[in-house]
């Protein structure tokens, strides 16, 4: 059985953030607008976590010569920030899903669900504590099939992630232009 440490930490972090959000709703007697200080803070910090999810893990994964910690720890970080960041962005929406922001939210939900599927596929491959595949435990046919499934998952997950970040950067640019520069 694999360690679910990052899932529990993400659950705790989301519970704390959700509690703070609930307190703000209670104190202000309304849903915090995406455009106020609290709403912006949720969106900004959530998006920064999502950028960290993508960039830091990808850089570590592609830099095999770098010794920035074990890949398993980076994957746990990727999963944690990949759950908490989107949760914060979801709260940032003020429960309005129209226009480009709605499309961006849809991409966010799809990428998180896809991440759960990828995590499930990944855990089907036996690994050492450092995340290296162990081929002697399971038949080579099972591992080959799981690798093909993981490759197929990557061909779907990565382009959706690129679409998400493209839509998010356009949303941020439009929000800055219309809400800030036109005032």
By the 10 Å C-beta count (0-12 exposed, 13-18 middle, 19+ buried), 129 is classed as: exposed
From the list 114, 95, 110, 102, the residue with the least C-alpha distance to 170 is: 102
User: What CA–CA distances, in Å, run from 98 to 29, 47, 90, 103?
Assistant: 23, 19, 13, 7
| 3-state secondary structure (DSSP) of residue 36 | coil
Q: Tell me the pTM.
A: 0.79
Distance from C-alpha of 143 to C-alpha of 133, rounded to nearest angstrom: 9
What is residue 133's predicted lDDT score, i.e. its pLDDT?
Answer: 60
> Domain locations in the chain?
5-181
Q: Can you read off the two tokens belonging to residue 163?
A: 């679409």
pLDDT (tens digit per residue) in 5-15: 888 999 999 99
pLDDT (tens digit per residue) in 152-182: 888 888 898 898 899 889 988 888 888 777 6
Q: Which parts of the chain register pLDDT below 70?
A: 1-2, 64, 66, 125-140, 182-183
């Amino acid at each position: 059985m694999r360690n679910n440490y990052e899932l529990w930490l993400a659950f705790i972090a989301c519970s704390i953030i959700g509690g703070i959000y609930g307190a703000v709703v209670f104190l202000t007697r309304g849903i915090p607008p995406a455009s106020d200080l609290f709403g912006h803070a949720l969106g900004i910090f959530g998006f920064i976590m999502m950028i960290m999810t993508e960039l830091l893990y990808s850089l570590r994964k592609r830099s095999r010569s770098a010794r920035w910690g074990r890949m398993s720890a980076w994957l746990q970080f990727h999963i944690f920030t990949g759950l908490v960041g989107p949760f914060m962005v979801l709260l940032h929406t003020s429960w309005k899903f129209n226009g480009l922001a709605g499309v961006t939210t849809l991409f966010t939900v799809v990428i998180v669900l896809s991440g759960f599927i990828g995590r499930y596929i990944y855990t089907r491959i036996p690994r050492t504590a450092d995340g290296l595949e162990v081929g002697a435990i399971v038949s080579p046919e099972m591992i080959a099939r799981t690798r093909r499934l993981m490759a197929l998952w990557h061909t779907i997950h990565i382009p959706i992630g690129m679409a998400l970040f493209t839509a998010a950067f356009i949303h941020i640019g439009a929000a800055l232009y219309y809400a800030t520069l036109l005032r």
